[in-house]
Amino acid sequence: MKNFVSATSSAPKTSHSKALFFFGAVALGLAVGTLYYFYDELYKPNVNVPAEGDFVYIPTGSTKADVIFHLGKSGLIDDMSSLIRAMDRLEYGRKIYAGKYKITHNMNNKKLVRILASGMQTPVNLQLGSVRTRQRLAGIIANQLEPDSVSLLLAMKDEMLAHSYGFNAENFIVMLIPNTYQMYWNVTVNDFFRRMKSEWDKYWAANGREDKLKRIGLTRSEAVILASIVSEETSKVDEMPLIAGVYINRLRKRMALQADPTVRYALGDFTVRRILISHTKIYSPYNTYRQRGLPPGPICIPSTTAIDAVLNYKHHDYMFFCAKADFSGYHVFAKHYEQHAHNAALYQNALNQQKIFQ
């Protein structure tokens, strides 16, 4: 009897243990599956970028759907479905922050969503260089920031906006000094010009530039306008102060500058290699053969090297200069017109020999 009772009472215990083990295994499996799903959604690396990283751009006014579209279009996300689920879980979309955001190697969904949700965008190192036209300048800026070139160009020509900063529509762009400026990609047009005005003031306050302007007798805008002519006259840095000195001498004697680059600007054709007498008769406030003094605005955005050449111009008695007949890019200088006429004749003959007639 004892053996019989012992044998029959062990069966329920074994069955119960198997049931517990089965349900435990199922629960564990569900837990592991849930954890993996959670890991896959938030913590698994989900980007396809090089070691140095890459960027995504969220335009101003974007919705959550727009952000998803831009991220999907970027091709930088491996699994958009998991990213969308992570956005929902982390409640992304209450407020959308526009901007330029850096995606780093092995970044997971949680980190990406947190960066987008916090507006922690990466600044742009905006590079402004020496260019000839407003159109080109607007295009360069638009390629680096969110505002489009049309909006920037219209602002550059806006008389009221220019006047609010102490300029006019003709000389407003002198404020854009070539340099590298750090700012956010989604800066507005107005904030962009506000920042440029701040940088303009800083530029002139540094390195004794204001004192140099007073000694020369030019305003800030006039110095940049003159620098734009110097910049178009020569690419030879060592010659720029000499050329600036000629123009300052002519300004002080109230002589017409007779600068060929201003004629090209008035013609709207920078490919003209030979300025003819007929060209110098064109009516334009930028034609310094007809108009005395400086033109009303710059004929290009000059380099800071050219501006420094004006501020540190070479003191001399030269009143004329002409390109050398050897086409070296350098010029020959003269104090008197007779000497200049001789130099000019040599250059004209060289142009004829090269069959350069226009």
**Rounded distance, CA 247 to CA 256, Å?**
9
Pairing of strands 54-58, 124-128: unpaired
Say which residues have a Cβ less than 8 Å from residue 31's Cβ, sequence separation at least 6. Answer: none
pLDDT at res. 270? 87
pLDDT at res. 39? 55
pLDDT at res. 129? 93
pLDDT at res. 51? 87
- Domain map (residue ranges) of the chain: 54-118, 124-205, 209-353
Q: Are 187 and 123 in contact (CB under 8 A)?
A: no
Q: Are 235 and 241 in contact (CB under 8 A)?
A: no
Q: Are 49 and 76 in contact (CB under 8 A)?
A: yes
H helix or E strand, kind and range, residue 332: strand 331-334
The fold of the 54-118 domain, in CATH, is: Dna Ligase; domain 1 (3.30.1490)
Amino acid at the residue 124: V
Say which residues have a Cβ less than 8 Å from residue 44's Cβ, sequence separation at least 6. Answer: 82, 108, 109
pLDDT at res. 32? 43
**Rounded distance, CA 142 to CA 155, Å?**
13
Q: Point out the residues of the chain with pLDDT beneath 50.
A: 1-9, 23-35
pLDDT at res. 301? 96
H helix or E strand, kind and range, residue 58: strand 54-58
pTM: 0.86
For the record, the structure tokens of 110 come out as 């949680």
**Rounded distance, CA 50 to CA 52, Å?**
5
If you ran DSSP here, which 8-state letter would residue 172 be given?
Answer: G
